[in-house]
Amino acid sequence: MVHVEIQNMTPLIQVFDMPTSLAFYRDLLGFEVVASSGDGDDFDWGLLRLGPADLMLNSAYETGERPAEPDPVRCAAHRDTGLFFYCADVDAAYSSLAGRGLAVSPPTTRNYGMRQLYLQDPDGYVLCFQHQA
């Protein structure tokens, strides 16, 4: 059997508006932009990092081709994508995010033993911050 050695995994998600996504991931959640395809906040691709977690953002549309509004069908499909982050103190994360003005419901403990805080990013992707209860 052939084994592929994997060191890490970095998801890539398509976003409608890069500056809006950066305002959420960088300014609200605390991710750092460690690489990007351009200067400023309106680039096409970026690698973000928060602690050991990496996430790539890519513009869903080429420059000049983005429609005025997001496609609701496309956004609805984003709810099928969940990004789960281990977070040692979900309650502190909730307090921090709520304190920054994010409309987020308090964390809950699920019947399968996980304490979880769910939210959605501007494109409708599901994010969950969790730890073993």
Answer yes or no: is pLDDT of 45 > 90: yes
| Number of domain units in the chain | 2
Percentage of the chain modeled with pLDDT above 90: 80
**pLDDT reported for residue 129:** 96
Residues 84 and 57 in one domain: no
Answer yes or no: is pLDDT of 83 > 90: yes
**pLDDT reported for residue 79:** 86
Residues 1 and 49 in one domain: yes
Answer yes or no: is pLDDT of 87 > 90: yes
Q: Is 72 within the bounds of a domain?
A: no
pLDDT tens track for 94-130 = 999 999 988 899 999 999 999 999 999 999 999 999 9
Residues 38 and 4 in one domain: yes
Pairing state between β 45-50 and 114-120: unpaired
List the CATH number of the domain containing 25: 3.10.180.10
Q: Is 68 within the bounds of a domain?
A: no
pLDDT tens track for 2-18 = 889 888 899 999 999 99
Nearest to 62, CA basis, from 78, 76, 43, 81 = 43
**pLDDT reported for residue 75:** 86
Assigned token pair, 45: 């691709």
Residues 10 and 55 in one domain: yes
List the CATH number of the domain containing 108: 3.30.720.110
**pLDDT reported for residue 7:** 87
Question: What range does the domain containing 4 cover?
Answer: 1-62
Confirm whether pTM is higher than 0.85. Answer: yes
Residues 91 and 123 in one domain: yes
Locus of tokens 């060191």: 7
**pLDDT reported for residue 47:** 98
User: For the residues of the chain, what is the DSSP string, one character each?
Assistant: -----------EEEES-HHHHHIIIIIIT--EEEEESSSSS--SEEEEEETTEEEEEEESS-TT---SS--HHHHHHHTT-EEEEE-S-HHHHHHHHHHTT---PPPEE-TTSEEEEEEE-TT--EEEEEEE-
Of 33, 62, 91, at which residue does a domain stop? Answer: 62
Banded pLDDT at 34 (limits 50, 70, 90):
very high
Q: Is 69 within the bounds of a domain?
A: no
